[in-house]
Amino acid sequence: MHSPIKITPTSKFKREATEIAQRLPLCFHGAKVILGNSIESETLVIPLVPSAKEMFAPRGACLLSETGSLWVSDTGHHRLLGWRNLPTTDNQPADWVIGQPDFNHEGQNAKTTPGRATLSVPTGICACGEGLAVADAWNHRVLIWKKLPEDNNVPADLVLGQANFNDNKPNRGKQEAAANTLNWCYGVCYYQGRLFVADTGNRRVLIWNELPSENGQPADLVLGQPDMRSRNENGGASPSASSMRWCHDITIWGDNLVITDAGNNRVMIWQGIPTENNTPCAVVLGQKSFDLVEINQGVYFPNASSLSMPYGVAACGDWLLVADTANSRLLGWKMPESIISLQGAVADAIAGQIDFQSKGENRDFALPKRDSLNWCYGIKVCGNTAVIADSGNNRILIWEMEV
């Protein structure tokens, strides 16, 4: 029998305990399906050899509909894995691969030069119109497929950040950033015609107001920097409501823009979607104010309002789900009447740990379980299904929501 997800606050945090109204809306029994490193024995296996089943540190996944297809960024193997339908059994092999000649090869850009179907540290992945967008981080570009791939090594239709599919220098080889360059881009999000990219190495998020139609098309808007050329940490100044240090993932929660700023150990939330460059966010989660950025608010153990390198974020109805990566846990906040009231707010629920003060990988550094986490990097929700990139366990969790 699988261990349930519990919330067990200690007496030291009575205020937090009174504010916890419900558990995170994930099935008590843990993941329904585990892809990659499934639980088959009492030993911890860390597979490195690629196959149609095994993964190495996957950092992103996207379920395109409630029945499939499913695409995973198998980051350490520099490839995408695709399942035609939503997998129903543990360790189910993928149907398709993009980025390698077959399921048994790995290596950056398939150990050749960049092209329309090669990858180097793919991370963020999302549905994009009728197709797919992938943050190809170490090629400093975003690849876009106009239609969902349904075969091996389907070439991308569009590239952003580079002038063509063969180039892969950060910021196109220049010292300054520009509206048409990228540097270590890790996150992508598409919402109502807009494309958002976490241009992590340039400490900014770029926004295209319409889905780009040309290779290397410049972005329309920048957040995190005063202009399109700047790329300093926190905009070259102290942390603020408009600055970023290591932005990583993006979602829309009730028409509000949400960005994880892992380097500042916080999640930034805007009221609505910004329409001007460098617009400051309205509130942050994980810190008590805009100028504070310490891991777990400056103490070793976390609490219900602290974060340590949060990389992933997803919206599910009234819930905002945050992958608090270095604390190996998921935190959830429910939508309040006013977004402003969320400033520094305690989370409403947790998964992956037994209480808000724990942070051990797989709970106390134990073997992985169906409801444990180890450096969870990415989370996406489609319908009532959450797909979690449990990177440190080399696996993907397909976990039913109870909402």
Pairing of strands 349-351, 141-145: unpaired
Per the structure block, which two tokens stand in for 37? 């490193």
82 phi, psi to nearest 5 deg: -125, 140
Per the structure block, which two tokens stand in for 261? 């700023």
Query: Residue 22: what pLDDT?
Result: 59
Transcribe 335-388 into DSSP letters.
--S-GGGGTTPPPSEEESSSSTT---THHHH----TT--SSEEEEEEETTEEEE
Q: What is the mean pLDDT of the chain?
A: 93
According to DSSP, residue 110 is labeled G
Give the residues across from 203 on adjacent strands.
none
- In 3-state terms the chain splits into helix, strand, coil percentages (rounded to 5) of 15, 30, 55
Q: How many other CB atoms are there within 10 angstroms of residue 248's CB atom?
A: 29
According to DSSP, residue 139 is labeled G
Asked whether the beta carbons of 60 and 123 are under 8 A apart, the reply is yes
CATH fold group of domain 11-400: Neuraminidase (2.120.10)
Residues shown for the chain? 403
Would you call 14 exposed, middle or buried from its count of C-beta atoms within 10 A (0-12, 13-18, 19+)? exposed
What is this structure's pTM?
Answer: 0.93
Q: How far is CA 68 from CA 11, 342, 398, in A?
A: 44, 34, 12
Residue type present at position 329? R
Domain boundaries, the chain: 11-400
d(Cα 9, Cα 15) in Å, to the nearest integer?
10
Per-residue pLDDT of the chain (403 residues; tens, 9 = 90+): 333 333 333 333 333 433 343 579 999 899 999 999 766 545 555 557 999 999 999 999 999 999 999 999 999 999 999 999 999 999 999 999 999 999 999 999 999 999 999 999 999 999 999 999 999 999 999 999 999 999 999 999 999 999 999 999 999 999 999 999 999 999 999 999 999 999 999 999 999 999 999 999 999 999 999 999 999 999 999 999 999 999 999 999 999 999 999 999 999 999 999 999 999 999 999 999 999 999 999 999 999 999 999 999 999 999 999 999 999 999 999 999 999 999 999 999 999 999 999 999 999 888 999 999 999 999 999 999 999 999 999 999 999 998 7
Q: How many other CB atoms are there within 10 angstroms of residue 361's CB atom?
A: 18
Q: How many other CB atoms are there within 10 angstroms of residue 87's CB atom?
A: 20
Strand blocks (E) in 246-347: 247-253, 256-261, 266-269, 283-285, 310-316, 319-324, 329-334
Region for 95 from its dihedrals, namely left if φ exceeds 0, alpha if ψ lies in -120 to 50, beta otherwise = alpha
